[in-house]
Structure 1
Amino acid sequence: MERISLENDDLEGANNVYLFDTATATVLIDTGEQSREQDLRAALENHGVTFADVDEVFLTHWHPDHSGLAGLIQETSRATVRIHELDAPLVKGDAEAWTSFASMQESRLESWGVPAAKRQQLFAHRERAAVAEYPSLSSVTTFGDGETFTIGDQVLHVRHTPGHTSGSVCFALERNTTDATGRQEIITGDTLLPNYTPNVGGTDARLDQPLNRYLSSLRLLNTADYECGWPGHQTPIAQPSNRAREIIAHHEQRAGRVLSILGRIGPADVWTVCTELFGELDEFHILVGAGEAYAHLEHLQQQGDVKCVDGTYRVMDEVRAELDSDVDTWPLAIRD
């Protein structure tokens, strides 16, 4: 397997594309965004591969920085493009699915209390960014959790890890040869990143209880004995279990901050909590910031620590008695 790094100036940094070039098939995991077409072509050529040689593309999730070039590759080589069944309608460009997605996103932004001017700014940014951003695929082949695929001497095991998107997956790698070393590796997409935490709650409006789902995905990775993680962005992760625990702790601290904010300012909507957490936000950050606040508030409500009435969240009385609003963290904010 070869890791190809493609520049990406937004958010998580450089995208990774993984190349498997075997005697029987040439396979990519993720493709990078459309603006990096020439970079991907040049990187593949360094390995003696062209777009026309690609037999299959596996996608970790639907976001365009991971799927953007899948349509062009498929058009060039007739490659089979595979993605989890929950993300397939969006990556294929199904009009009904996109209409429903946009409607749900806009409804949530309004219910979160995001001001009209901020919503208009976000939608204007979304329209500018959407030009030629998403793939145009003639066909998509779906897979589900637990399915396996053989590529040369490697077997890919699909691990459904929702949270960042509904259909986010990791691919656990296993050598199927007699000289296999037993080294456990996993391609993590955006589920596990080395330096950043992926957005939860904003970039896929279809998920209910997004943080709860994401924490379950992290615990799945934490309990596995993977020795190396190959992420969707930046450099490999030496101890994926340790990184999973770090991200769980990060969300625990953030949930504590949310409780502290509500204890200090009283009942509030999502946007008010968001601005307390992150300050003034613009363009795409409006969506991801509000989504993070929403994900934590919904998780705290599910645990019984806060209650929401008509879009306003307040700390439960029994929790308030334990909460010191002068501290920024509360260690029991997220419980197993």
Structure 2
Amino acid sequence: MDVVEVLPELHMFRFRIGQAYLWRDGDELTLIDAGGAHDGPAIIAAVRDLGFRPEQVRRIVLTHGHPDHTGAAAELAARCGAGISAHRLDAPVVRGEAEAAPPVLLDWERPLFEHALTVPPAPPAPVDRELADGDVLPFGGGARVVAAPGHTDGSIGIHLPGHGVLFTGDAVAGHEGRAILGVFNTDRARALESFHRLAALDCETACFGHGDPLTAGAGRLLRASADRHAVLEVEHGGTLPGA
């Protein structure tokens, strides 16, 4: 696992597939997403290497219910004493009470999806707080929950308006210094609407579930990319990768 400083108060944990983020408010930590089922020890070690104690992780916020984002949530919650938050529509998946809806794959996504199937299943994790659009979480000066369905029904973004930071989960991905629509969506039309909704937010830094963060002018870049995707969707029916 790689540890990358995004901002002085924000670090990215990059795994073999996907990534998570650690936000610091003084001596209190928040983990946004939780990696795969085998990533818990590496996350704990990284927290310690950054000079913190595991019990300083007060909350784990899950952007959606896929196993590369929820796999270590139960282990980390138990070891850190942290509460877990997830959108109410993905909370049953996180708890192991329901199966995640399968994606509707475009032809070019199929080889990528075969690789993603190597992610181990996520152990069921308790969800202490079920989130809804507009909820405000007590970190980052007031972290706003932004519903972003389409990748999954309960996908969310997390916006820190006071810091100009946006966590998109898998609704948006980073690719070669730009933003693209995330892959493996259950409803591509809703996913594109969510891309536009997230892109409309004021942010300087955008942190994705996959791909390098944008750390300057992220809002402008997201809006330009969302507009480009809308045009390509009309012209090519979403058949082009990336965009």
Q: Normalising by the residue count of structure 2, what TM-score does the alignment of the two structures yield?
A: 0.76
Q: Give runs of aligned pairs for residues 120-199 of structure 1, distance below 5 A.
A: 129=118, 131=120, 133-151=121-139, 154-175=141-162, 183-195=163-175, 196-199=180-183
Corresponding residue number in structure 2 for 1:222: 199
State the Cα deviation string for residues 51-103 of structure 1 (Å, max 9, x = none).
44422111111111111110101222332100011110001100xx22xx56x
SS at match of 1:193: strand
Q: Give runs of aligned pairs for residues 246-257 of structure 1, distance below 5 A.
A: 246-250=225-229, 252-257=231-236
Root-mean-square deviation (Å): 3.1
| % identical equivalent positions | 24
Number of equivalent positions: 221
Matched-pair contact (CA < 8 Å) for 1:6–1:36: no
2:78 to 75, 78, 85: 75
Q: Name the one with the larger strand percent.
A: 2
SS at match of 1:35: coil
Gaps in structure 2 of 5+ consecutive residues: 1-8
Matched-pair contact (CA < 8 Å) for 1:4–1:18: yes
Matched-pair contact (CA < 8 Å) for 2:23–2:29: yes
The alpha-carbon deviation at position 139 of structure 1 amounts to 4.1
The AA in structure 1 aligned to 2:41 is Q
Gaps in structure 1 of 5+ consecutive residues: 113-117, 176-182, 205-209, 260-276, 279-288, 290-336
SS at match of 2:79: helix
Q: How far apart, CA to CA, are the structure 2 residues paired with 1:52 and 1:135? A: 21
Q: Give runs of aligned pairs for residues 24-35 of structure 1, distance below 5 A.
A: 25-35=28-38
State the Cα deviation string for residues 181-237 of structure 1 (Å, max 9, x = none).
xx5221222222221531253xx4xxxxx2221222122233333222122233222
Q: Give runs of aligned pairs for residues 7-26 of structure 1, distance below 5 A.
A: 7-8=15-16, 10=17, 14-23=18-27, 25-26=28-29
- From the superposition, tell whether residues 189 and 258 of structure 1 become closer, same or farther in structure 2 (CA, over 3 Å): closer
Corresponding residue number in structure 2 for 1:92: 95
Q: How far apart, CA to CA, are the structure 1 residues paired with 2:56 and 2:200? A: 37
The AA in structure 2 aligned to 1:33 is G
The alpha-carbon deviation at position 130 of structure 1 amounts to 6.4
Matched-pair contact (CA < 8 Å) for 2:161–2:202: no
Structure 1 segments of 4+ aligned residues over 4 angstroms from their partners: none
Q: How far apart, CA to CA, are the structure 2 residues paired with 1:92 and 1:223? A: 32
Q: Name the one with the larger helix percent.
A: 1
The AA in structure 1 aligned to 2:15 is E
Q: Computing the radius of gyration over CA atoms, which structure comes out larger, 1 or 2?
A: 1
Matched-pair contact (CA < 8 Å) for 1:163–1:200: no
Matched-pair contact (CA < 8 Å) for 2:150–2:191: yes
Q: How far apart, CA to CA, are the structure 1 residues paired with 2:71 and 2:25? A: 21
Q: How far apart, CA to CA, are the structure 2 residues paired with 1:167 and 1:190? A: 11
The AA in structure 1 aligned to 2:206 is G
Q: How far apart, CA to CA, are the structure 2 residues paired with 1:3 and 1:47? A: 9
Matched, 1:2 2:2: no
Matched, 1:60 2:59: no
Matched-pair contact (CA < 8 Å) for 1:158–1:170: yes
